[in-house]
Amino acid sequence: MNIDRSKLVYRKATKEDATQIKRLAEEVIIKNYTSFLGADNTRSYIESGESSKEIDSNIENIIVAQYEDEIIGLTILKEDLLHLIMVRHSHQGYGLGGLLLQYVEKELFKNHNTIRLETFEVNAPTIEFYKKHNWNIIEKEFSEFTNGFIIKFEKQRING
């Protein structure tokens, strides 16, 4: 897949984007989370409507990556927390996640000297992705909700 990066646009999501964002999120959850959350948990999360509620309740905190007319990535930012980052499955492996991460880091560092994120310990590819982008693990905490460990990362603003 060839992507002309000059046509990649980052922008705040609007309510009109919600349907497209929800489809992207469901696709990524199914394809990327089933391996460590299990098919039943993944399906239950989506069918319960929790995935859609997460998007609806955070629409004003979402930044999307848009290529031509398609939203191919999204992130949810909450204060100093990168709450979620996703890239459409068909666009993964082309460096777009790294570009989206760089963009949102700059946005977060406008107001914060330290920024944070969390992920599941069993999500090894994501942990490696964040390490590759110079995020530091600061804590590992057991979550009764997921019945597993959450890895907490942070990154400091580099002055200069």
Name the pairing type of β-strands 114-120 and 148-156: antiparallel
pLDDT in the model for residue 41: 85
For the entire predicted model, the pTM comes to 0.90
Among 151, 13, 3, smallest CA distance to 90 is for 3
The answer on pLDDT for 160 being more than 60 is no
pLDDT tens digit string along 6-61?
A: 899 999 999 999 999 999 999 999 988 888 778 888 898 999 999 999 999 999 99
pLDDT in the model for residue 159: 76
pLDDT in the model for residue 1: 67
* Other CB atoms within 10 A of residue 89 CB: 14
Contact yes or no for 96/68 (Cβ under 8 A): no
Reduce the secondary structure of the chain to three states and give it as a string: CCCCHHHEEEEECCHHHHHHHHHHHHHHHHHHHHHHHCHHHHHHHHHCCHHHHHHHHHHHHEEEEEECCEEEEEEEEECCEEEEEEECHHHCCCCHHHHHHHHHHHHHHCCCCEEEEEEECCCHHHHHHHHHCCCEEEEEEEECCCCEEEEEEEEECCCC
pLDDT tens digit string along 106-155?
A: 999 999 999 999 999 988 889 999 999 999 999 999 988 778 899 999 99
